Structure 1
Amino acid sequence: MQIVETTNEGLKRAYTVTIPAADIAGRVEGEVKKIAPQIKMPGFRPGKVPANLVRKMHGAQLHQEALQTSIRAAMDKLVADHKLRPAMQPAVALGEGYDEGKDAELTVELEVLPEIAAPSTDGLKLEKLTVPVTDEQIDEAVLRIAAGQKSFTEAKKGTKAKDGDQLIIDFLGKLDGVAFEGGTAEDQALEIGAGRFIPGFEEQLVGAKAGDEKTITVTFPEDYPAANLAGKETTFDITVKAVKNPGEFEANDEFAKMLGLESLEQLRTLLKGQLEQETAGLTRTQMKRALLDQLAAGHDFAVPPSMVEAEFEQIWAQLEQEAQREENPEEALKEIESEKDDYRKIAERRVRLGLLLSEIGQANGVAVSAQEMEMLIRQAAQQYREQDRQRFVDYVRSEPLAAAQLRAPLYEDKVVDFLFDKAEVTEREVTRDELQAAIEAEEGAAAEAAPAKKAAPKKKAAKEEAPVAAEEAAADEAPKKKAPAKKKAAAEDEAPAVEEAPKKKSPAKKKTEG
């Protein structure tokens, strides 16, 4: 086999590889001898079919398999002999006009990983911003839980409804005088001031009494999910059947027992732990960004364009999806298009940091254990249907690239933890708002080329600042962020077309916050 280097420019390499026809033919002969004893053919005893007949029957298939095996072997030899570290899968092309009996001439193009001087982990200095959990914050969390457990008692006859009261109503919605689908309900509970109905609906019922009948006019939001109602002025005929006052709430052991706990103290302890865990996550984000900023400032080396392009495409696809969910998708797409170069620079920074973390990890023996990898695979498999989980597990175990993608985020975190332990860390107590401001300031510093007057690149693409290829620089990092949920849902569960779903908080988050 002959290997000739044709390009060696920066991180780009190109080669011509010639595989002798005799090598390929030898592999074919080896396969013929291997399978001949298993071939059955009329007129011949089992295992006695002549080799020339085996070649006639299966020659084309055997040759194709032998060619592919030869190419893989040639690529392995090329990488080993030239001590290459491919950044991405090499591009391999078989020369035109190739046919059986001829030498196979390959052209191979690839990018290699840069040689990175062993980065020093000495001299790192980090400030850890911590947010203490106060009794007042715990009290607020208890009250938020209480709000979800609120009880109401019927008010005295003639009582006028005020903010915080609950009404039991029947309503009939009309668009241009005609009742519309989903605009009718009976015995609907409505808490004034809760903001669960479309803007202007609850406010017009302040002062209503049991037995009142009234018609109100409201305009549906422009982004309302039902297209026939979005931005339209409608009327609602309302009958007030009851006015109820909220019950008095007392934070005590009885309230905690209603929630399935032993005491109020246990509830407060649980809430404190949740709040501490939440702020600890923000603190880690702040420290990680400060760490990455220090690493980025101290290292500048060329990175493989193919890796940058792959990372950029991942960022760009996410941005386009987010833009499509905006109220004005075309305007949002124009905005990100004007900042395309900024996002490409962010992608380059991510790749550089990923390679740097990989080098630090390998130099210091950081690794993901077999047990940790098994746990990762099992956890990832849970997102699939039960009947498909084992197939996913088998796929990851058989595909090195899929395994590397799954392993990368954990490997990155382990390298970051290693650097945290090496760094000189000072602690400072701050408020939650101050911590959030520090994170946003670091976002701005990370998006180095982003225009100062525009926040979009900082908030969208650089928010996580998660380097790609954090292990062995072999794979793009799987996206960490989930696509945000829609701002508004149809809310068909209680009062279709009238009651709005929460705009920002998901049910899970509400539960955590109480």
Structure 2
Amino acid sequence: MQIVETSNEGLKRAYSVTIPAADIAAKIEGEVKKIAPQVRMPGFRAGKVPANLVRKLHGPALHQEALQTSIREALDKLVADHGLRPATQPAVELAEGYDQGADALLTVSLEVLPVIETPSIEGIKLEKLIVPVTDEQVEEAVARIGQGQKTFSDAEEGAAARDGDQIVIDFVGKLDGVAFDGGTAEDAPLELGAGRFIPGFEEQLVGVKAGEEKTITVTFPADYPAEHLKGQDATFDITVKAVKVSGEFVANDEFAKALGLESIEQLRGLLRGQLEQETAGLTRTQMKRQLLDTLAAGHDFAVPPSMVEAEFEQIWQQLTQEAGQEENPEEALKEIEAEKDDYRRIAERRVRLGLLLSEIGQANGVTITNQEMEMLIRQAAQQYREQDRQRFVEYIRSEPLAAAQLRAPLYEDKVVDFLFDKAEVVEREVTSDELQAAIEADEEGNSPAKASETVTEEAPAPKKKAAPKKKAAAEAPADEAPAAAADEAPAAPKKKAAPKKKAVAEDAAPSE
């Protein structure tokens, strides 16, 4: 086998590889000897079919298999002999006009990972922003649960409904005086001020009394799910059947037991733990960004263009999908187009920091155990349909590149934790607002890394479960409309939060 380097520019390499015809022929002969005992042919006893007939019968398939095996071996030898660390799967082209029996001439091109000087991990200083959880926050969390467990009882006779009260109504919705599908309900409970119906609906019912009939006029939002109702003016003929007031919430053991707990103190303890976990996650995010900024400031090396392009394409796909869901998609697309160079810079930074974290991890013995990998595979398999899960598991176990992609997020977290342990950390107590402000300040500045161990090439996978169809126009989720009228109430559509500028620059997991 002959290997000749034909190009060496930056991180790009190209080679000419010649596989002798004799090597391919030897593999074919080996396969013939292996399968001959199993070949059956009329006129011959089992296992006694002559080799020349076996070659004639299976020749093309045997040759193709031998050629592919030879190419794989040639690539392995090329990588080993030249000490290459491929950043992407090498591109291989077989010379035109190749015929069986001739030498195979290959052109191989690839990008390699940069040689990174082992980063120094000494002297890293980080500030850890600590947010203590207060008793007031715990009580607010208890009260929020209490709000969800409200009970209502009949108000005094003749009482006018106020915000926070519940009314029970019949209603008929009409467009131009004609009732429309899904706009009618009977005995529908509605909590005033909860914002579960379209804007203007609840507000016009403040002050109504049991037995009262009223017609209100509302305008459906421009983003309402039902196409025929978007932006339309409608009237609702309403009959108030009852006015109810909520009972006073008391945080006591009886309330906790209704939730399946032993005492109110157990509930408070659980909620305190949840709040502490939430703030700890934000603290880690802010610390990680400090760490990545420190690493980025101290290292600047060339990164494989193909990896940057793959990362950028993933970022761009996310951004364009989000822009397409905005109220003004064209304006949103124009905005991200104007910042396209910034997002490409973010992609390059992510790749560079990913490679840097990988280098630090390898240099310091950070590994993913077999047990951790098996857990990752099982967790990832859950997103697929039950009949596809085993196929996904087998695919990950047979494809090293796909396994590397799955392993990368956990690997990054373990390297980051390793660096946290090595760093000089100074703690400072702050408020939730101050911590959030620090995180948002980082979002407007440099982006965090998106580490990957070797490649960003996405691997094919089994189909996921089909997404459930969207509900019909007037069908509202149970948490957005009264349960009795869940299929009929003109529920307020959930507003999509506008993405923050450079939202993609927020802390991202490695190759997904």
Report the TM-score, using the length of structure 1 for normalisation. Answer: 0.91
- Determine the structure 1 residue equivalent to 2:271: 271
495 and 382 in structure 1: CA distance in 2 versus 1, 3 angstrom threshold: closer
**CA-to-aligned-CA distance 1:438-457 (integer Å, 9 cap, x gap):** 011112221xxxxxxxxxxx
- Determine the structure 2 residue equivalent to 1:238: 238
- In the alignment of these two chains, the number of paired residues is 479
- Determine the structure 2 residue equivalent to 1:106: 106
Could you say what secondary structure the match of 1:228 adopts? helix
The aligned amino acid for 1:183 is G
Separation (CA, whole Å) in 1 of partners of 2:97 and 2:494: 64
Output the aligned Cα RMSD: 1.7
- Determine the structure 2 residue equivalent to 1:467: 450
- Contact persistence 1:161–1:243 (CA under 8 A): yes
Cα offset for 1:495?
5.5
The aligned amino acid for 1:498 is P
Separation (CA, whole Å) in 2 of partners of 1:226 and 1:489: 7
- Determine the structure 1 residue equivalent to 2:81: 81
Matched, 1:136 2:136: yes
Cα offset for 1:386?
2.6
Could you say what secondary structure the match of 2:5 adopts? strand
- Determine the structure 1 residue equivalent to 2:44: 44
240 and 178 in structure 1: CA distance in 2 versus 1, 3 angstrom threshold: same
- Contact persistence 1:33–1:51 (CA under 8 A): yes
Residue segments in structure 1 that go unaligned for 5+ positions in a row? 447-461, 506-514
- Contact persistence 2:118–2:360 (CA under 8 A): yes
Cα offset for 1:476?
5.9
- Contact persistence 1:225–1:490 (CA under 8 A): no
- Determine the structure 2 residue equivalent to 1:313: 313
- Contact persistence 1:168–1:188 (CA under 8 A): yes
Matched, 1:499 2:488: no
Separation (CA, whole Å) in 1 of partners of 2:400 and 2:136: 50
Cα offset for 1:384?
2.1
224 and 349 in structure 1: CA distance in 2 versus 1, 3 angstrom threshold: same
- Determine the structure 1 residue equivalent to 2:292: 292
Query: 496-505 vs 420-429, which deviates more?
Result: 496-505
**CA-to-aligned-CA distance 1:37-67 (integer Å, 9 cap, x gap):** 1111111111111111111111111011111
Matched, 1:164 2:161: no
Cα offset for 1:33?
1.3
- Determine the structure 2 residue equivalent to 1:330: 330
Cα offset for 1:502?
4.9
Separation (CA, whole Å) in 1 of partners of 2:37 and 2:151: 83
**CA-to-aligned-CA distance 1:119-144 (integer Å, 9 cap, x gap):** 00001000000111001101110110
Separation (CA, whole Å) in 2 of partners of 1:443 and 1:165: 42
- Determine the structure 2 residue equivalent to 1:251: 251
Separation (CA, whole Å) in 2 of partners of 1:445 and 1:124: 20
Matched, 1:354 2:339: no
Could you say what secondary structure the match of 2:227 adopts? coil
- Determine the structure 1 residue equivalent to 2:151: 151
Cα offset for 1:504?
6.7
The aligned amino acid for 1:496 is E
Separation (CA, whole Å) in 1 of partners of 2:386 and 2:222: 41
Separation (CA, whole Å) in 1 of partners of 2:66 and 2:181: 67
Query: Aligned ranges for residues 112-131 of structure 1 at < 5 Å?
Result: 112-131=112-131
- Determine the structure 2 residue equivalent to 1:67: 67
The aligned amino acid for 2:431 is T
Separation (CA, whole Å) in 1 of partners of 2:340 and 2:428: 37
Could you say what secondary structure the match of 2:182 adopts? strand
- Determine the structure 2 residue equivalent to 1:198: 198
**CA-to-aligned-CA distance 1:14-56 (integer Å, 9 cap, x gap):** 0000111111111111111111111111111111111111111
112 and 407 in structure 1: CA distance in 2 versus 1, 3 angstrom threshold: same
Query: Aligned ranges for residues 163-182 of structure 1 at < 5 Å?
Result: 163-182=163-182
Cα offset for 1:474?
3.7
The aligned amino acid for 2:476 is A
Separation (CA, whole Å) in 1 of partners of 2:268 and 2:23: 75
Matched, 1:35 2:69: no
Could you say what secondary structure the match of 1:25 adopts? helix
Could you say what secondary structure the match of 1:158 adopts? coil
Could you say what secondary structure the match of 2:228 adopts? coil
The aligned amino acid for 1:355 is L
The aligned amino acid for 2:136 is E
Runs of 4+, deviation exceeding 4 Å: 475-478, 501-505
Query: 490-499 vs 399-408, which deviates more?
Result: 490-499
Could you say what secondary structure the match of 2:22 adopts? helix
The aligned amino acid for 1:352 is R
- Contact persistence 1:92–1:109 (CA under 8 A): yes
- Determine the structure 2 residue equivalent to 1:12: 12
- Determine the structure 2 residue equivalent to 1:214: 214
Could you say what secondary structure the match of 1:425 adopts? strand
The aligned amino acid for 1:57 is L
335 and 504 in structure 1: CA distance in 2 versus 1, 3 angstrom threshold: closer
Identity of aligned residues (%): 78
- Contact persistence 1:489–1:501 (CA under 8 A): no
Separation (CA, whole Å) in 2 of partners of 1:489 and 1:354: 47
Report the TM-score, using the length of structure 2 for normalisation. Answer: 0.91
- Determine the structure 2 residue equivalent to 1:511: none
**CA-to-aligned-CA distance 1:130-189 (integer Å, 9 cap, x gap):** 111001101110110000111111011111111111100000000111111111000000
